[in-house]
Chains A and B, each alone.
Chain A
Amino acid sequence: MPYIPVASHLPGITGLLEYRMDTAAPIRALTQFLLRGPNTLSEGERELIATIVSNGNECQFCTTAHAAAADVLLGNPSVTNAVIKDHQQAPVSHKMKALLEIARLVRISGKAVTDTAIQAAKQAGATDLEIHDTVLIAALFCLYNRYVDGLATAMPEDPSYFDQLAVRLVQHGYNRLPQGYDHLKK
């Protein structure tokens, strides 16, 4: 049971973003820009950063949602699974391994990010902007994961919810749907 009254047809973050809509607007806009805006990291790569952080924070809703979105965007579910298991052994570029390592450290603490980790990313070809965006995406998911679990939001009853959510995140991104979410009511 969520700790505050959120709409029962909106599990996870969706109900919270509808509960307080003024703060939801910049949170959504920030996420849309970071995960879908123009970037030298692909949308799939950015979803992998969101996934590894959410998994580390043990946030089931966010992990499942962003893994599903990454799977659709990467076109190959084995990549996300491998990243969750051990990003250093996953079939991603050296640059992505180094950026995922930075994301892993940011999740622990901002202070945990070492010069060594930053140098490894730069040597693998990461730009300052890519490092910046990796850190901010990782930090943003430390917000989301705590918001979602700190208020004990619900998981969807039907696991196929995440397939539909992944399609929505790929097709529409993170902006609020213009028609709202009443169509999700059973």
Chain B
Amino acid sequence: MPHINLPQEVPGIRSLVMYRPETGKYLYELVQLLLRGESPLSAADRELIAAYVSYLNNCEFCYQSHAAAARCLYGEQKELVDEVLQDFATAPVSPKLKALLVIAGKVQKLGKEVQPEDIETARAAGAGDRDIHDTVLIAATFCMFNRYVDGLGTTTPEYVSDYIAMGERISTIGYVLPNQSK
């Protein structure tokens, strides 16, 4: 049961942005720019960072929906997503993405946890300023979304398979407010 009187028919963040569209429009604008806007990181890698941070925050709705979107965006390599979430150290992803995931995992704990060595490792693996900036901001943004979604006790879809359609939607049309999409 949500903690406040949210629309019943929609789960997670969608119920919140329908409840308070004045803040919802900025939240969707931010996530669209961060995950789909211009960046040296691919949309798939950015969704993976979002899924990983949401997984660490134990936010079922955000983790499942962004993992589903990442699977769609990786296409034939979709198994990467679950391999990374289980143990990214052994997952077949680039040293650069691993180093960025380390940074994202530290941001999830607290900003101060990120150490100069973490940044040096990422740079040595080829990460530039914008890779590092965007990773930190995506991780921080999902620390906001996860708390917003769970802090108000939003509902989650009844079936895990419901996330497949959600992943397909956000991997094709991106982040569109519920009242503006079908």
User: What is A's interface to B at a CB cutoff of 8 Å?
Assistant: 3-5, 16, 19-20, 22-23, 25-27, 29-30, 33-34, 37, 57-59, 102, 105-107, 109-111, 113, 115, 118, 128-129, 131-133, 135-136, 138-140, 142-152
Contact = CB atoms under 8 A, between A and B. Distances in A.
Interface residues of B, number: 49
Contacts of A132: 4, 16, 19-20, 152
B55 interface: no
A145 B147 CA distance: 14
Contacts, number: 147
Interface string B130-147: 101110110111011111
Contacts of B137: 20, 23, 147
Chain A contact residues, majority secondary structure: helix
Interface in B3-50: 3-5, 16, 19-20, 22-23, 26-27, 29-30, 33-34, 37-38
A85 B4 CA distance: 29
A140 B111 CA distance: 14
Contact of B22 (A37, A111, A135): A37
Contacts of A136: 20, 23, 148
B111 A139 contact: no
Nearest to A135: B151
Contacts of A133: 20
Given A26-B26, A109-B57, A131 B3 contact: yes
Contacts of B134: 20
B145 A22 contact: no
A164 B22 CA distance: 30
A23 B138 CA distance: 11
Given A33-B22, A111-B58, A142 B147 contact: yes
Nearest to B146: A110
Contact of A143 (B19, B33, B114, B140): B140
Contacts of B30: 23, 26-27, 30
Chain B contact residues, majority secondary structure: helix
Contacts of B145: 139
Contacts of B37: 22-23
A143 B144 contact: yes
Given A128-B4, A151-B133, A140 B144 contact: yes
A99 B132 CA distance: 35
B137 to A, nearest CB: 6
B149 interface: yes
Interface string B114-133: 10100100000000011011
8 contacts: A4-B129, A23-B34, A23-B137, A118-B153, A132-B19, A138-B147, A150-B106, A150-B107
A106 B57 CA distance: 12
B69 to A, nearest CB: 19
A118 B3 contact: yes
Given A147-B137, A152-B116, 6 more contacts: A4-B133, A26-B29, A57-B110, A131-B3, A142-B140, A142-B144
